[in-house]
Amino acid sequence: MDIEYTFWQMVHLCTSPKVVYQHTKYHKQTKNQWARDDPAFVVILILFLVFATSAYCAAFGESASHAALTITSVVFFHFLFAGIVLSTLCWFLTNSYLREEPNSHVVEQRVEWLYAFDVHCNSFFPAFVILYVLQYFLSPLLVAHGFFPALLSNLLFVVAISYYHYLNFLGYDVLPFLDRTTFFLYPIGLVIILSPLMILIGFNPTRYFLSLYFG
C-alpha cells in the first residue's frame, strides 16, 4: 500500500481537489482503469473513522460496549453501507443517463463501479475532517443552546455537504465520456435553500446527531 501517496491525496482533496483528479487521468493512461488499484485510501480512512469515533466516545464517557457499537455503526453504516448505496446510485445514473452518445469509431466506455466508490471516498474525506474532527473540537460551543451555536453548526454542515457534492461533480466531470455532469451540483442548491430555514427554526444538527448517539 502506498501510504505516502494516500496522504498526499487526502491533503490535496481538502486544498486542491482538481490536482487529485488530474492524477486520476494519469492513472487511467498508465493502468488502463479509472479506479484505484490500491486499498490504502479506504483502509486509512476507516482507521481515521475509528480513532475519531473513539475520541467522541471517550469525551462523552461511553462504556466500552457502547463505544464498540458506535464505532461499528459509523464504519459499517455511515461509511461503507451509505457509500455502497450512493456509489451504486451514481454508477447507475452516469451509465444510464449521463454518457455521451457513443461514436461508431470509438470503443464504448462505462463508469466502473469501483471508480464510483473511489469518488465517494474522495468526497467523504473532507466531510470527515469537518464533521468528525473540526466539529469534535468545536463541540463544547456547538452543543450549547442559542442562535449562534445553531448558526455555526448549520454552517459547518452546509460547507461539508456542499463540498462533498462539489467533489462528486469533479470526480465524474473528469471522465471524458460523460455529459451534463453539473447534475451532481444540484444538491448544493437545495442545501443552500434549506439551511436558512433550519437556522430560523433553531435546528442544531450537531446537537441532534450527538444526542442520537450519546444522548
Q: What is the pLDDT of residues 73-93, one digit of tens each?
A: 999 999 999 999 999 999 999
Task: For residue 99, list its beta bridge partners.
Answer: 178
Query: CA–CA separation, 210 vs 175, rounded Å?
Result: 38
For residue 34, tell me if it sits in a domain: no
Taking residues 118-145, report their average pLDDT. 96
Confidence of residue 29 (pLDDT cuts 50, 70, 90): confident
Asked if residue 209 belongs to a domain, the reply is yes
- For residue 192, the one-letter residue type is I
For residue 110, what are the domain limits?
3-7+39-214
Question: How many separate domains does the chain show?
Answer: 1
Residue 163 is assigned to a structural domain of this protein: yes
The reply to whether 180 falls in a domain is: yes
Contact 206, 160 (CB under 8 A): no
What would the pLDDT profile of 37-49 be if each residue is shown by its tens digit? Answer: 889 999 999 999 9
